[in-house]
Amino acid sequence: DVKVTQSSRYLVKRTGEKVFLECVQDMDHENMFWYRQDPGLGLRLIYFSYDVKMKEKGDIPEGYSVSREKKERFSLILESASTNQTSMYLCASSSSSHSGNTIYFGEGSWLTVV
């Protein structure tokens, strides 16, 4: 089974703090994604990566950055957290080589910025 692990499940941070959200997948997937999910807005893509050290902006990259130094790990960084970044963050991964482009999600990280 594919496993996508988000190490931080629940975080409370202060405005202006730097926040790191870590994600690890164990299926040697090429592609990794960060989404945020808000009521009424659905899933919105923040950033994705299709290879080590490669990254592409998604639909809402402002205020975020990412890092992918190893194939299995994809980090989301909030350089200076703001209250409008309070949300659930979902990491996901997929393979480019088979199963179409089925995306598998981690369990989610709930971030509250106060």
Kindly state the tokens that stand for 91.
């990491």
Part in contact with another protein (CB under 8 A); list of ranges 14-22, 27-35, 66-74, 77-85: 27-35
Q: What beta strand segments (E) does the chain contain?
A: 4-6, 10-13, 19-21, 23-25, 31-38, 42-51, 54-57, 65-70, 73-78, 87-94, 104-105, 109-113
Distance CA(8)–CA(11), nearest Å, equals 7
Distance CA(81)–CA(99), nearest Å, equals 36
Closer residue to another protein in complex, CB, 85/89: 89
**Dihedral angle at the C-alpha atoms of 26, 29, 34, 38, nearest 10 degrees?**
-80
Cβ 109 to another protein shortest distance, Å? 10
- 40-79: contacts with another protein (CB under 8 A): 40-43, 45, 48, 50, 56, 58
Closer residue to another protein in complex, CB, 87/94: 94
What is the chain's alpha carbon radius of gyration, rounded to the nearest angstrom? Answer: 13
Cβ 114 to another protein shortest distance, Å? 21
Cβ 40 to another protein shortest distance, Å? 7
Among 7, 15, 96, 112, binds another protein (CB under 8 A): 96
List residues near another protein by CB under 8 A. 30-31, 33, 40-43, 45, 48, 50, 56, 58, 90, 94-96, 99-108
